[in-house]
Structure 1
Amino acid sequence: MKEQRFDKNVYMEFFYWLYQSLASSLCFWCVNILYIAAVFLLSIDGRNVFSFIFSLLFIGPGCIVMIGMTEELAKEKSFSPVRLFIKTFRQFWLKGFFYWLFAWIVSVIMIFDCFFFIRFSYGKWLIPLFVLLACLSVSFSINCWYFQVRNPASKPNQVLRIAFYYTLKKWYVSLLDFLLLTSLFLFFFVKPQWCILLGPSIVFGLIYFNNRKLMRTMDL
C-alpha cells in the first residue's frame, strides 16, 4: 500500500481548511469590530437598541468580501486568506456598503413601525407585513452581494435589477439566506466564541452555494 504524501494527508487537509476558515472569519470580524464591541460592552436593554442598530450599519463590506472569498475558493481551491481578504475588500467594500445600506434603512424603519403600531389593537395585524418587508430587504442585499461578486464588471443598476427579480422569484432561497445571515449575528449573543472562530466562513459558504445551486450566472 502506498503511503500518503504529507501534503495529501487527510489530517493535513483538515487543518488546512480549518486554518482557512479561522483566518477568514477573524478577518471578517476585524472589519466588524464595532458590532463585537456593542455585544461585549453593552447589556441587552431597550436603552441600547440604537447602539446595536448603528453597529450593524457597517457589516456590508465584510459580508460581500466573504462571498467573494468563497467565489475564489470555488475556483482556485487554494489561497492566502488574509491577502485575498484585503484584495477583495479593496475591490468590493464600497458596493457592499451601498447594497447593505438599503436593507439597513428599511429594516430600521420596519422595527420602529413595529414598536409604534403594536400599541394599537389594529396595528398588531401589520406586524407580519413589517417583518416580511425587513426580511425581503435583507435578502435583496444578499442577492446584490452575490450577483456583484459573480459579475464584478456589472454596474450597480444592473445588479439591483437582477437581484430584485431573483429576490421575488426565488423567495424560498431568499428566506434561507435571510435566516442564515441573521442567525450569525443573533447567535453571537449565545456562543460568541464559535461565531468569531467559524461562524462567518460557514454562514457565507452556505449562502454562496445556496444561491449558486439555484441561480445560474447571468450575463448582466
Structure 2
Amino acid sequence: MSPLKRSFLFIFLIVMLQKNILATEKPTEVILLQPNHFEHIEFKKTKANHHLFINQQLQINVNDSASFLMQAFDQVKLVKRVSFEWRSDTLPKIKNAQHEKQKPGDDAVFKLGLLLKTDESISNPWIPKWMNRVNTLLNFPSEEMIYLVANAKHTIGERWENPYNKRVTMISIESIDNKKDWHLARYEFDVPVNVVAIWLMADGDNTHSHFTVHIQNIKIE
C-alpha cells in the first residue's frame, strides 16, 4: 500500500471512530417543567405544598408542609449525571447532619428523587394510599430510591439512610453559586443507575419551616 493510501485510510479510521463515539454518547435530557408532565402526590394528615409552573421554572411554596411532584418514564433511563439550578428565600430549620438524618430533621430546601428499577415489586396490602398512587403511575417495578439533596448538612457526597424508609438513600450533593442568587447543584454517579421515575420535592413539615424555592434547568444524562 502506498504512503498516500495509508494516510487516507488512517484519516478514514479516525473519522469513523469519532462518529462511533458520538453515536454512543447519551444526549443530555432537560426535564420539561410543565404541569401536565407531573402528578402531585400528597401525604395523609400532612399539609401539601403549593406548586406553580412559570416559564420552565417550578416554584414550590412550603408552609410547614410536604408533598412532591412525580414523573414516570415510558422507558428506563440509564443516568450517570444529574444537575439543576435552585434558589430560595430562606432555608428549612435543620440544625446539623445528626438532626438531618433523624425524623425531626428530615426536611430539605429541595431534593430530587430517582426511583430505581428493580426486578419486581414487593406486594404489600398495607402500604399508604399515596404509595399505591405511585405504584399505579409507574411503568416499571421500583422498590429503591435515591434522593439527591441540595444544601444538605452532610458533607458533599456523603450518604445516609432515610429515617422513614431504609430502601431510600439520601446523598448530599454539591451546590455552587451560579448567577443572580441561583445555585447550580450537580452529582455524578460512579456507576450509572437505571431510573424509572423522578420526584421533585421540598419539605418543611418536620422542622416547621416556611420558604419558597424556585427550580429550573433539571438535566439528566
Q: TM-score, normalised by structure 2?
A: 0.27
Point out the structure with max Rg over C-alpha. Answer: 2
More helix by share: 1
| TM-score of the superposed pair, with normalisation by structure 1 | 0.27
